[in-house]
Each structure stands twice: as structure tokens, then as C-alpha cells.
Amino acid sequence: MRREEDSEWTRRAPAPGSPPRVLVIGAGMAGLATGCYAQMSGMRTRIFEKHVLPGGCCTAWSRDGYLFDYCIEWLIGTAEGNDAHQVWRELGALDGKTVTNFELFNKVTDETGRSVVFYNDPDRLQAHLLEVSPADARQIRAFCRDLRRFTEIELYPFLTAPALRTVRERAATLRTVLPAFRLFWRTAATPMHRFADRFEDPLLRKAFRNIFFQDPEGFPLLPYLFNMAAAHHGNAGFPQGGSLGLARSVEERYTGLGGTVSYRARAERILVENDRAIGLELRGGRRYYAEHVVSACDGHTTVHGLLGGKYTGPRVDKLYDELLEAPGTLFPAVVSAFVGIDGPLPEEDAHSTTYLLAAEEGARLPGALQNSLVVQLRSRYCDGFAPPGRSVVHCTYFSDYAHWAELRRTDRRRYREEKRRVAAFVRDFLTRRWRECAGRIELVDVATPATTRRYTGNHNGSILAWKAFSDADDIAADLVGKDRMRLPGLAGFSMAGQWVGMGGLIRAASTGRFAVQYLCAELGLPFRAQESTGGEPWHPGRLGRLPQLDRWYAEERRDS
């Protein structure tokens, strides 16, 4: 940034008659969305990001010509005609891109080789499940009947902040909810594990728990039905360019609106004067000032790090102290192993399969929380993830953050050994199942929960933050709806992101929209949101210089 542009942010008082200045901490999806909507609404913004890339967990990195896409498995809002899609259109996230849709959500294969395929189409799913287990016909028909009902409902309340919804908007929501109230209530009150335990077939008892690749534990039926119904309508597809492509598109939209992102800029503390946020201080001591500050990074870091724990209340304490370490409140951390293969992948395999492992085999996966391994054929999701004639596979499993964090902190040699154990397990596992791939695996790149923590700051390496339908859900809803994403006793400050509005990319983006709506209401400014006018067709060159991704993960690869 030119010195004269920088000076606008380093002086305490704004220029007379100038628009309000807003500083945003974090260039993840929530921070970028906050910047976009603030720019559209006539404010001046600047985003500070400690990393060299946008997106936070919505990212990718490269190695030897392969691109390892880390985040998106499905994206709500890829089909037209709903609020989620409108948000992505406003943010330019899907500009010039194709979308890949799959006919199935996931496949689950048990230790004996039996499989069940979770097709998105209710009729096809029902026919398949009845073939797998005719004895479970009643339970199967009940699930597929509910899935059909969900395919008829579209409820995506992502446009207006809860406290600002008009009577007309609330009435429109009620018109959607009331006819299906009993369906929503029943499926939200029925835990999936209880529903799955009713099946006679042992495969179905396990498989239904793993529709979302691994068992999130504690989820009711509702989110499974909602997401499968969305996928049936093409509204949960995979966008061209993947995770980093999505982040780059929103970054382009933001800079096109006049915003600026400063990378390698780690915020050390939020500057407060007379209980009002007035700016922030970066590592190294440089200070920047604004009339409003939005933190779109890790919630605990914001409350207890950047603000020193001075602005809390019962809800904030409950969420960022008590529940943060409570069992079952955070979405589990993940170990990722990306596999580069010389040649094609087996044609008969599904794009995504959860393999249920025998207890002895599962014990060989370091830090594993469940006896299962998810194998996704990423080359089928999008072109450009592998060099010509090669393929890339993404293997994941839920893992204990403490296991990896302690090793990395106290014993780097053992940390490296554990990563090598993951790589060896994956090589052996894939070679046994795909004998044609023997000798063709070129590399395995492993990222641990400690990696996620290191590069994103996410507490305990959790990619999706708070687990939906946990004790944190209602408290987070109150932070957004009742507290308007503010902290008690602190003016000039807002929070955004999944540590406030729950996990998922569309939720993260919508919190940026909500934060700006609340700010506009406070300042008396009209909130404006315009759809992007599109652009040239997407191409991999828009991801940026991939060698910098190699430097980003240089230390992690040395550990491997």
C-alpha cells in the first residue's frame, strides 16, 4: 500500500466528512464478507491477515504440481433461487465457475466389504436400502419419506440479521416453517444414533451415523435430511476452483470494491479507549485506527487475547470459557493425508467413501477418535487438482488435538514419526484396496490438527468450531440475535465468523453480512448489497502463485 494510503489508517482522527473506517481482523470467509458488505454500504475498510493467503481454513496448498484442497466437501448455495446462493452471488464467490454435483452423498463400507450408498434421490435411496436390508423396510421408508418432505422445503435465512428482520420477513419464515413444524420438531428431537440403533442390519446401524463421512456424535436427523435434500436439488455442489478458489473469488470481489487486505499482518491487541475500540496494534508495534473494529478470527483469542478478557458477561464466559473445553461442544479436529498418484483412479469407486475399520486396524491411526477412514477421490471434484495423467486422493479421520499439540510442543521427533505412521497407513490401506495403484503412489502429504491451529489460530484445531445442536448452539444464537455480535461494555466493536454464528462457510459469510447490517443500523447508514456482475471463466491461474503455498507448508513437510 502506498504511504499516503497507509496514513489514512495511522492517524487517530478521520478526515473531515470522510466515510466511517472499519478495520477487520482475519481474511477468512467471515472477514472477507464483512469487508465486501461494508464497502458496498459506503464504508472504508482494511483487512489484516496473519497468513499469506485468504480463506482461513477454506484453503489449499501445493506440492510437486498437486493442489491439496483442504476444506470444501459440499457448499450450500450452489443452486439458484435461495438466500444462500444470493449471498455467494453478492460476494462473487461463484463467478465464472462450474459446479460439480454428485448423485450420492457418501458411501459406507464395513470391515467385511459390504457397502451402502446414500443416494441423494429419495426413491433411489429407498430402493437401494431395501435391497441391502429388506427386514428394515419400515425404518427405511420412514427416513426416505422424511427426505422427500425436505426436498419440498427451502429455508435459508441468511440475508437479514435476526434482530433486524421485518414483520414481513418473519411472516415469510413462518409460512415456510408452520406447515412443516412437526417434521422439523421431530427430526430435530431425534438423535441420529437413536434412530440408527433401530435398524436390524448392523451395517445400516453404523452407516447412517457416517452419512457426513464420520460420526459427528450428537447430531439429530434434521441436518442429515436438510443437506441430502439440498444435494438432491444441486444446492450442495462443489465449485470449480475448490476452497482456495472460493476464497480468491471473494478476495477479488473485495478488492474490486476498493478494499485492501494486508497479509503477514498479525494483530496483537485491539486498542481501546474509554471502553470504545479505536483500532488495533500489529506484531511489531505498528498501530492502525478506525471508527469500528470487527474481529473475524478465533473467538477465545479475540476475547481473552486481543482484548485481555476485560469485556465479558455470562453468555461470553459460558461460551468461551466453560463450553470451550466441554466434551462434545467443538467439532472434532481432523488429520488430512493427501495422496498423489501417477495415473487414474478406479472408475467403480464412489467419489467419497467411509471405510469402517476393525478395532485393531483403527488403533494404528495416531490419535484417531473413531475406527474409520474417509477416502475422497478429489480428482473427480474439479480439474486442476493434479498434474496431467495423475490423480489426488484426500484421506481424513477425526483426531484428538491434544495428542498432536503435546507431541509438537514437547517431542518433535515423535511428532514427525506419528505423521510418518499416518502416511504409511494410508499408503498400505490404498494399495490393499486398489492393487492397480501399487507402486504408483508418488507422495503423501500429512496435515494434523496442530497444523490447523498453527496456521489459522482455531482453538483445538477445530475446522468447524462449535458443533451444531450442542449446548453452544443457543448461546451463539443469542450472541447474534440479542447481543448483535457485540461484547458487553465495549463500543465500536463487533465479532463475526463461525466462533459467533456456528460453523460452515455460508454461516461464516452470513455473519459478515449481519455484522455490517447491525453497524449500518447503528450509524444510520443504508445497508447495500449488490450482486457481482460476474467475470471471465474461472481458471487455475486465478489461485495466485502456488510456490508461496509450498513455502507456507515448508516446515510441516520437513516434519513429514
Q: What is the pTM of this model?
A: 0.94
Residue 137 clears pLDDT 50, i.e. is over it: yes
- pLDDT value of position 549: 46
pLDDT in tens, 447-456: 999 999 998 9
Q: How far apart are CA 434 and CA 111, in angstroms?
A: 16
Cell reading at 130: 431395501
404, 383 contact by CB (below 8 A): no
Burial class from Cβ neighbours inside 10 Å (0-12, 13-18, 19+) for residue 338 reads buried
User: What 3-state class would DSSP assign to 205?
Assistant: helix
Q: How far apart are CA 268 and CA 490, in angstroms?
A: 18
- pLDDT value of position 213: 95
pLDDT in tens, 398-434: 999 999 999 999 999 999 999 999 999 999 999 999 9
Q: How far apart are CA 66 and CA 388, in angstroms?
A: 10
Phi, psi of 390 (to 5 degrees): -125, 170
Q: What angle do CA 77, 79, 83 make, to 5 degrees?
A: 45
In sequence order, the 6+-apart residues with CB closer than 8 A to the CB of 423 are: 337, 444, 446, 560
Residue 153 clears pLDDT 90, i.e. is over it: no
- pLDDT value of position 290: 97
- pLDDT value of position 1: 45
pLDDT in tens, 476-511: 999 999 999 999 999 999 999 999 998 899 999 999
Mean pLDDT of 140-153: 95
DSSP annotation of 483: S
Residue 2 clears pLDDT 70, i.e. is over it: no
Residue 550 clears pLDDT 60, i.e. is over it: no
Q: Percent of the chain scored above 70 by pLDDT?
A: 96
- pLDDT value of position 546: 53
Q: Nearest CA to 272 among 55, 492, 427, 507?
A: 492
Amino acid at 207: A
Q: Regarding beta strands 44-48 and 21-25, do their DSSP bridges make them parallel or antiparallel, or are they unpaired?
A: parallel
- pLDDT value of position 71: 93
The length of the chain, given as a count of residues: 560
How confident is residue 556, by pLDDT bands cut at 50, 70 and 90?
very low
Query: For the range 323-329, what are the long-range contacts, defined as Cβ-Cβ under 8 Å and sequence gap of 24 or more?
Result: 323/470, 323/471, 323/472, 323/475, 324/300, 324/459, 326/471, 328/217, 328/218, 328/467, 328/470, 329/466, 329/467, 329/470, 329/471, 329/472
Count CA atoms within 13 Å of residue 449 on its CB side: 27
- pLDDT value of position 545: 63
Q: What is the 3-state secondary structure (H, E, C) of 513-550?
A: HHHHHHHHHHHCCCCCCCCCCCCCCCCHHHHCCCHHHH
**Which strands, in side-by-side order, build the sheet including 372-376?**
115-119, 104-109, 352-356, 372-376, 390-399, 333-342, 441-447
24, 288 contact by CB (below 8 A): no
Output the average pLDDT for the chain: 93
